[in-house]
Structure 1
C-alpha cells in the first residue's frame, strides 16, 4: 500500500514526465525509476508506467491535434498497424533473445541525437518526403510498435526521426504525429497488463493528474517554441536514454 506522501511525490514525477513526453518523449526515464523506488515490483512498475503515460500522451496528442499538428485521418491505417505490431511484440518478447538490443538501441539513439544536432535546415517547415506517406507510415508504425512491445526505450525518438527523415515533416508536426502512434503502442501493451492485474491504480490516479497538466503544458510549449525547443530536447533525451541503457541496462 502506497502512503499519501509517496503518491503526492509520484504525482509530481508524473507532471515532469508528462511535460518531457509531450515535447520530446523519454518521460519513462523519470517515472519507471520513481515507481521502482516506491516499492513496486518490476512488472507492476512497467504496467503502471504504461497506464499513466497513456493519459499524459493522450492530452498531448489532443493538444497537438487541436492546433493542426496531427494528421489523424491520414494516420488511421497506421494506428491499427502500430497497435498490432506492439501487441505482437509484447506477446512474443519471451520467445526471442533481446540482449542484443542493449547495445543496438543506445547506438541508434546516439544516431538520432547526432542527426537532430547536426542536420542542416531542421526546422518546423515541411520538406519533400522521401517515401509516400500513406504507403510507408504504416510500416514505420508496425516496426516501431513491435519494438515498443519487445523492448521500449526510445520509441518516441524513433517515431520522430522516421517522420522527419523519411516523410519530410517539420519537427513540430513530427512530434504531434509521434504522440498519437506512441499512445497507440502503449495501449497495446495495456491490453495485456490490465487483465493480468499488474496496474497499481492508486499510483496511476495520482500520476495521471500530473501527466494531464504536464502533457498540456508540454504540448503548448512544443507548439509555441517549435524546433527551437523540441530539437535540443530530443538530443538531450536520446543521449540520456543511451547512457542509461549502457550504464544501467
Structure 2
C-alpha cells in the first residue's frame, strides 16, 4: 500500500470516526473509499469493522470517564442487538441490498425532517414509551441491519433511544457506541472466520477512527443536545442522499 493510500485512509478514518460517534454515517465515507482503492465490497464491509470496534472502544471509555455512560443501562440493549447482528451477518447474502437501501434511505430522510421540525422529540423526556419486549424486538432488528451493512445504523439506534427510551441525544450517543462496540466484536469475529478481514488495512482505519471517535465523544459532551441535533440532521440528509445515489447507480 502506497504512502498516499495510507494517509488517505487515515484522514477519512478520522472524519468517519468523528461522524460515527457524534451522529452516524461515517461508514458511508469509508466503504466507498476502500472499494475505490481496489478492495472487494464484502472485504471492505468486514475490514471496516476493525475501525468501528476501536473507535467505539475509545469513545465509550471517554463517555464513561465523563460520567455520561452507565454500562448497566447499555446491557439491556446489547443482548438483543448482538443477537440481531449475528443474524444480519449470516443473512447478508440472502437479502436484496437494493430494496433495503431504498427503504433505509426513505426512513433516514424522515428522521432528518423530524430533527428539524420537531426538535423537542429528540431532547428526551425521561419516559420510556415502549414495553421491554417491544424494545428488545426493535433493537434486535436494528442489530440485524448493523450486522448486514453497518452504514447508517447509528441513526436508527439514536432514533430508538430518544424516541422510545426517553434518553436525550447525548446519553443516546453514549449508549449507542457501547452497544455497537459489543455487537461489532461478534460480527468481526464471524467475518474474520470467513477470511474477509484485511487486518493491515483494518488497523490503519482503526488509527484514524480512534482519533475521530475520541474527538466525536469530546464534541458531544462539550456541545450538548442542541449542537448534536443540527450535526445529526446534516449528516442524515447527506447520508440519505448518498444512499439514494448509490441505489440509482446500482439500478
In the TM superposition, residue 57 of structure 1 has moved relative to its aligned partner by 1.6
Residue in 1 aligned with 2:142? 144
Task: Give RMSD over aligned pairs.
Answer: 1.9
Distance 1:62 1:137 in 2: 25
Q: 1:96 to 1:218 in 2, by over 3 A?
A: closer
* Secondary structure, aligned partner of 2:92: helix
Range 108-117 or range 177-186, more displaced = 177-186
* Secondary structure, aligned partner of 1:59: helix
- Deviation digits for residues 170-220 of structure 1, max 9, x if unmatched? 110111111112223322321221122221222222221211111111101
Distance 2:29 2:5 in 1: 15
TM-score scaled by length of structure 1: 0.91
- Deviation digits for residues 102-135 of structure 1, max 9, x if unmatched? 2211110011111211214356564322135x55
Task: Kindly indicate whether the alpha-carbon contact (under 8 Å) linking 2:124 and 2:163 is maintained by their aligned counterparts in 1.
Answer: no
Distance 1:116 1:162 in 2: 13
Task: Kindly indicate whether the alpha-carbon contact (under 8 Å) linking 1:109 and 1:242 is maintained by their aligned counterparts in 2.
Answer: yes
Q: 1:181 to 1:140 in 2, by over 3 A?
A: farther
* Secondary structure, aligned partner of 1:95: coil
Distance 1:21 1:216 in 2: 11
TM-score scaled by length of structure 2: 0.90
Distance 1:125 1:147 in 2: 24
Residue in 2 aligned with 1:209? 207
Residue in 2 aligned with 1:108? 107
In the TM superposition, residue 136 of structure 1 has moved relative to its aligned partner by 4.6
Task: Kindly indicate whether the alpha-carbon contact (under 8 Å) linking 2:23 and 2:155 is maintained by their aligned counterparts in 1.
Answer: yes
In the TM superposition, residue 70 of structure 1 has moved relative to its aligned partner by 2.2
